[in-house]
Amino acid sequence: MKLTGARIIIETLIEQDCETVFGYPGGFVINIYDELYKASDRIHHVISAHEQGAAHAADGYARASGKVGVVIATSGPGATNLVTGIANAFLDSVPLVAITGNVPLALLGRDSFQEVDIMGITMPITKHNYIVKDVNELASILRDAFRIAKSGRPGPVLVDIPKDIQLATCEYKPGKPVEKTLDVLTEQINIDKIVELIEASNKPYIYSGGGVVISNAGDELKQFAERIDAPVGFSMMGLSAMDGSLPNNLGLTGMHGRYASIKANSETDLLIAIGVRFSDRATGNKLKYSPNAKIIHIDIDPAEIDKNINTYFGVIGDVKYILNKLLEKVKPKKHPEWKEEINRYIADEQANYPQNYGMHPKNIIERVNNLIDDKTVIATDVGQHQMWVAQYFKLKGRRTFLTSGGLGTMGYGMGAAIGGCFGSGNQRTVLFTGDGSFGMNLAELATAVSNNLPLVIIIMNNGVLGMVRQWQTIFFDERYSSTTLDRKTDFVLLAKAFGANGMRVVGEGELSLALETAFSIKTPFVIDCVIDCDERVLPMIPPGGSVENIIIN
């Protein structure tokens, strides 16, 4: 049948199993929105307050659901407003298809109204991108976009569609959802070699990352760790792969990692890195990283092997596949002495925990932790609160942690939490944010309210940009340049103005009441928690430092 380009876009999205799209209309996508309107019984569109929010929502949706997130924006400012969201998805390997409108072909390159070269702008932050110049290629390009977004190491793909392509007609044949292709293994997986090393190791440590979450290999990871009796530490992106309360889960490692995890990471004689990319925030000084260990690196992206850390050897392929191969061969091991050593680190870690009461972030986090189940989605913004959540929150379920790892995008949280609600089938979602981060994209409260989302927003309000302040305290002699916000914003009134509800909390009694209220309703609720502005994220390994430089208190 002959359809317009705009209709083909919608039909292809539906055909690719896309149920929810996020976006914001505008002059050069008006035809696409017209088709969305007509197809509203088959595909649900969520309008955000700002295109950046829509991009983060599509990202959060993808992380929570495991599907491809889709975002639509108009040309020019609509497209540029997506850029942060696309870069965020790129650095965290999130499958995203961004569709932008553009001026008609004949007006391209003439600095027309609302024209930008979004393909040029997004080239370095997408896996691939397209500008469609022939309506006959539209459907196949969109299918390619989905395939590329979810195949191998996932990532964002942008498709720029000029207005006249949306209006032109051509023959459309419905297709099937494209399969994700697993990259062909470029080298023979030397499982035996890994098995041998495990056999010889006395202090194995598994460093697990986002790749394990992406390939849904949490069960395999758990089995593997138990089998070889190894503790597991995580990168920021990997935290939701394994139940946080398991005894061999040492939690976050790296700059703000937990003490026992950092120590084990440093003392191990065999580091099995799975689905990680050894970011500088995770390794610190590379010359002093796991100095006694042979490092095996398992990842789907060959370019990650030996990129940041020189490995003993790398294995390229899908993490789940390789873990299953390992489970076929690897024999059970016991490492009582290693375990004892780790237990000493855990005891040291716990001895340095802050007191667990009042408005200390750890207490707030643990109070929330007690209220959730394994379906609850946890989102964060970026800064101190994010690190506290990463350190103290014991995640229960897979794909339940939405956080901006690689790009460190303040303002990510609101959009991501909204996407998390949709991606999880309207599960209870909790956003931990700070007064700084929340200020960046708080207009998305409107989106949360319009859609009646079961979203609890916990603002750790210290009146300052806490993470930068912490650096200023430690490295800049307490010169707090532009980090003392001292704003007069009343977040409870603000919540009410948006049609949500909220409470301000300054003490533990109020915290109980606020949490009880927030978790008893199914609509957005803002809890403005006043915390101490000098509360620091500890431990901390200064940038470029190693475990020797760790700051504990």
Residue pair 522/452 in contact by the 8 Å Cβ criterion: yes
Q: Is 478 a catalytic residue?
A: no
Catalytic-role residue among 114, 294, 339, 396:
114
By the 8 A CB rule, do 493 and 515 touch?
no
Task: Report the distance separating Cα 170 and Cα 284, nearest Å.
Answer: 55
19 binds another protein (CB under 8 A): no
66 or 302: whose CB is closer to another protein? 302
Q: Is 301 one of the binding residues for another protein (CB under 8 A)?
A: yes
Q: Minimum distance from CB of 204 to another protein (Å)?
A: 21
Catalytic, out of 51, 220, 304, 535: 51
Which residue number, 313 or 321, has a Cβ lying nearer to another protein? Answer: 313
**Considering the complex, what minimum distance in angstroms separates the CB of residue 53 from another protein?**
27
C-alpha span between 553 and 547 (Å, rounded): 14
Name the residue with tokens 């390997």: 93
Pick between residue 153 and residue 385 the one whose CB is nearest to another protein.
153
Listed in sequence order, the residues at least 6 apart from 43 whose beta carbon sits closer than 8 Å to its beta carbon are: 10, 13, 14, 18, 19, 20, 21, 36
Task: Note the Cα 404 to chain centre separation in Å.
Answer: 5
Q: 164, 306, 341, 366: which one contacts another protein (CB under 8 A)? A: 306
In this complex, which beta carbon is closest to another protein, that of residue 189 or of residue 506?
189
Residue of the chain from 77, 120, 247, 507 that contacts another protein (CB under 8 A):
120
Residue number, 110 or 173, with CB nearest to another protein: 110
Residues 6 or more apart from 25 whose CB is under 8 A from it? 33, 47, 74
Nearer to another protein, 106 or 123 (CB): 123
Answer yes or no whether residue 399 interacts with another protein by CB under 8 A.
no
Residues 40-59, one symbol each (x = binds another protein by CB under 8 A, - = not), give --------------------
DSSP state of 229: T
What does DSSP assign to residue 547? G
Among 4, 311, 380, 462, the residue binding another protein under the rule CB under 8 A is: 311
Residues with Cβ < 8 Å from 109, sequence gap 6 or more?
A: none
Residue 177 sits in the site that holds another protein (CB under 8 A): no
Does 123 bind another protein (CB under 8 A)? Our answer is yes
Per-residue binder mask for another protein (CB under 8 A), 140-159, x = binder: --------x-----------
303 lies in the site for another protein, by CB under 8 A? yes
Regarding 188 and contact with another protein (CB under 8 A), the answer is no
163 is catalytic: yes
Q: Is 51 a catalytic residue?
A: yes
Nearer to another protein among residue 99 and residue 316 (C-beta): 316
Dihedral over Cα of 320, 324, 330, 335: its sign: positive
Residues, the chain, total? Answer: 553
Report if residue 128 touches another protein, rule: CB under 8 A: yes
Instruction: Indicate if 113 belongs to the active site.
Output: yes
Binding range to another protein, per CB under 8 A, among 73-81, 241-249, 308-316, 527-535: 308-316
Region of residue 281 (phi > 0: left; psi between -120 and 50: alpha; otherwise: beta): alpha
Catalytic residue among 67, 127, 150, 163: 163
Provide CB contacts within 8 A for 46, sequence distance 6+. Answer: 20, 21, 22, 23, 54, 57, 418, 422, 447, 451
Q: Does 302 bind another protein (CB under 8 A)?
A: yes
Smallest distance from another protein to CB 163, Å: 20
State how far the Cα of 208 lies from the Cα of 243, in Å rounded to an integer.
13
- Under the criterion CB under 8 A, does residue 127 sit at the interface with another protein? yes
**Active site includes 460?**
no
Beta bridge partners of 551: 540
Q: Residues 14, 108, 119, 371: which binds another protein (CB under 8 A)?
A: 119
User: How many Å apart are CA 35 and CA 356, to the nearest integer?
Assistant: 54
Number of residues binding to another protein, judged by CB under 8 A: 15
CA 27 to chain centre: 31
* Catalytic residue of the set 113, 179, 187, 375: 113
109: contact with another protein by CB under 8 A: no
Distance from C-alpha of 430 to C-alpha of 380, rounded to nearest angstrom: 8
Cα 200 to its chain centre, rounded Å, is 36
**Residue of 110, 124, 334, 481 that binds another protein (CB under 8 A):** 124
Q: 31: helix, coil or strand?
A: helix
Instruction: Confirm or reject binding of residue 310 to another protein (CB under 8 A).
Output: yes
Q: Give CA–CA dist 480/470, Å, rounded.
A: 9
Given the rule CB under 8 A, which residues bind another protein?
119-120, 123-124, 127-128, 148, 301-303, 306-307, 310-311, 313
Active site residues: 51, 113-114, 163, 467
